[in-house]
A = this chain, B = another copy of it.
Amino acid sequence: MTTVELSRDSLHASVTDPVASSMNFLNEVANRYPDAISLAAGRPYEGFYRTADITRYLDIYTRHLEDSGHGEEQVRRSLMQYGPSNGQLQPLVSRLLRTDEDIDVPDQAIAITAGCQEAMAIVLRGLFADPADVLLVSEPCYVGVTGAARLIGVPVVGVPEAAGGLDPADVTRVARAVRASGRNPRVLYLVPDFANPSGACLDVHQRRELLRVAAEEDLLVLEDNAYGLFGADDRPRPRLKSLDTDQRVIYLGSFAKSCFPGARVGFLIADQTVVGADGTRRLLAEELATVKSMLSLNTSPIAQGVIGGLLIESDCSLRRANTSKIEFYRRNLRALKDALERHLGTWSDARWNAPAGGFFMVVDIPMTADEKLLEISASEYGVLWTPMSFFYLGDGGRNSIRLSCSALSAEEIDEGVRRLAELVRDHRASLL
């Protein structure tokens, strides 16, 4: 018998996905230069977390089950046994959605998932059956959704994002071009609030117009709301789902930023009616339970219990529970803008956008922002950032970088941008 060797080429395309390779490269550079300030990492700030909270939230959830009439055996079963595919937090999540987001859906339209990433995989798997079906994405695009699409073999077509966020007219244009090519644009994915990576945010008019266009082009809309709580001001920004009168929007919810990532609990809302050949009518979320069961049976009820306890403690308002975090991220976004102004504003050709919230800004720099420059930036200047090219399906973003301000202190942000400015100054000089 001979030892097995597999050719990497014989593995599925998702294994060798270029975006995954790029992200691996980024992580690998970060590991090699641990002292570099990371304006690349989009993870939330850990200063708000306390390990003791985990068991406290679990205790609150356990008491909640008891108060709801669960005996000891039922509590044990809820937390430690196999559970329903779509989870057990629906009543708390639907209260949260009514309180914070003005979204009113029945419990059975909600499925609790192993993080928002799994919600994406479930929705794409369930909805994409015909090889002609195409996923439209606002581009530049979050790599999680293009990754899930790659995994499932869903073709992706980008709709270029305008400076003020996705232009509904562009959606119409791309949807029609896709259709003219014999394919079927089925779903449009976007992050309407402070997108990752661009920071773009749609105004109310754009949101309504987008829904109108989606109806006109018969698109389902996949709304990813990972950052919605973290606006730079208190201006109300209605979710697409709250404006969705004809069940056209599937909503992806995350607790990673509003609670913490380690629970790996997210959810989806899919209140679309699915009609069977026999006339039976069920909600899409109920149909997708089968997909969930084939992926991971059900989301860990322990992890659900931790998030459940947090929701109960906050009286199902994460907006209220996140007051300090909202203030922190606002301050950091201001710090990032100020630092760019201070260190790059007066002399350089660099330009940046002005997101109305979220974790990210995009800076255009007068040089190629590739992996080679990133390596130099990490090793010689001690600062990390993300090439925007990682977020494009084609070859966009070559002269742009994404800066994240979520995981750092204001002082670190300033120092990181100072180092970035040195990089830009030196390499700009070398271009002249």
Question: Per-position contact with B for A268-306: 1 when CB-CB < 8 Å, else 0?
Answer: 000011111100100010011011011111111111001
Choose the segment among A47-55, A98-106, A324-332, A417-425 that binds chain B (4+ C-beta atoms closer than 8 Å).
A47-55
Query: Are the CB atoms of A15 and B301 closer together than 8 Å?
Result: no
Query: Are the CB atoms of B297 and A117 closer together than 8 Å?
Result: yes
Q: How far is the CB of A213 from chain B (nearest CB, A)?
A: 11
Query: Are the CB atoms of A12 and B301 closer together than 8 Å?
Result: no
Known contacts A13-B129, A151-B294, A291-B151, A6 near B274 by CB under 8 Å: yes
Residues of B within 8 A of A293 (CB): 20, 23, 117, 147
Instruction: Given contacts A4-B220, A114-B299, list 15 more A-B pairs with CB under 8 A.
Output: A3-B273, A4-B247, A15-B290, A24-B290, A43-B81, A46-B73, A46-B81, A81-B260, A114-B118, A115-B296, A117-B293, A117-B296, A118-B296, A121-B294, A302-B302
Q: List 20 A-B contacts (CB under 8 A).
A: A1-B211, A4-B273, A5-B273, A6-B284, A7-B274, A8-B277, A9-B277, A11-B127, A12-B125, A17-B290, A23-B293, A49-B81, A51-B79, A54-B58, A55-B59, A117-B297, A147-B293, A300-B300, A302-B302, A302-B306
Measured in the bound complex, the distance between the Cα atoms of B65 and A51 in whole Å is 12
Query: Are the CB atoms of A46 and B76 closer together than 8 Å?
Result: yes
Q: Does A28 contact B (CB under 8 A)?
A: no
Known contacts A54-B58, A275-B6, A262 near B81 by CB under 8 Å: yes
Q: How far is the CB of A148 from chain B (nearest CB, A)?
A: 5
Q: How far is the CB of A21 from chain B (nearest CB, A)?
A: 8
Question: Per-position contact with B for A18-44: 1 when CB-CB < 8 Å, else 0?
Answer: 001001100000000000000000011
Measured in the bound complex, the distance between the Cα atoms of B277 and A127 in whole Å is 35
Q: Does A62 contact B (CB under 8 A)?
A: yes
Residues of B within 8 A of A17 (CB): 290, 294
A129 CB contact (under 8 Å) in B12, B220, B277 = B12
Q: Does A263 contact B (CB under 8 A)?
A: yes
Q: Does A130 contact B (CB under 8 A)?
A: yes
Query: Are the CB atoms of A212 and B55 closer together than 8 Å?
Result: no
Q: Quick one: which of A114, A256, A302 has the most chain B CB within 10 A?
A: A302
Query: Are the CB atoms of B117 and A114 closer together than 8 Å?
Result: no
A58 CB contact (under 8 Å) in B43, B55, B288 = B55
Query: Are the CB atoms of A5 and B272 closer together than 8 Å?
Result: yes
Residues of B within 8 A of A6 (CB): 272-275, 284
Known contacts A264-B296, A291-B151, A11 near B274 by CB under 8 Å: yes
Q: How far is the CB of A220 from chain B (nearest CB, A)?
A: 7
Query: In chain A, residues 200-257, which have Cβ atoms closer than 8 Å to a Cβ of chain B?
Result: 211-212, 215, 220, 245-248, 256
Residues of B within 8 A of A365 (CB): none
Measured in the bound complex, the distance between the Cα atoms of B425 and A155 in whole Å is 57
Query: In chain A, residues 88-144, which have Cβ atoms closer than 8 Å to a Cβ of chain B?
Result: 114-115, 117-118, 121, 125-130, 144
Q: Does A80 contact B (CB under 8 A)?
A: yes
Residues of B within 8 A of A59 (CB): 55
Query: Are the CB atoms of A81 and B261 closer together than 8 Å?
Result: yes
Query: Are the CB atoms of B126 and A262 closer together than 8 Å?
Result: no
Q: How far is the CB of A236 from chain B (nearest CB, A)?
A: 22
Measured in the bound complex, the distance between the Cα atoms of B131 and A308 in whole Å is 43
Known contacts A6-B274, A7-B275, A62-B51, A262 near B130 by CB under 8 Å: no
Residues of B within 8 A of A295 (CB): 117-118, 121, 148, 151, 295-296
Residues of B within 8 A of A79 (CB): 51, 54, 262
Query: Are the CB atoms of B129 and A10 closer together than 8 Å?
Result: yes
Q: Does A72 contact B (CB under 8 A)?
A: yes
Q: Does A75 contact B (CB under 8 A)?
A: yes
Q: Does A150 contact B (CB under 8 A)?
A: yes
Measured in the bound complex, the distance between the Cα atoms of B413 and A89 in whole Å is 33
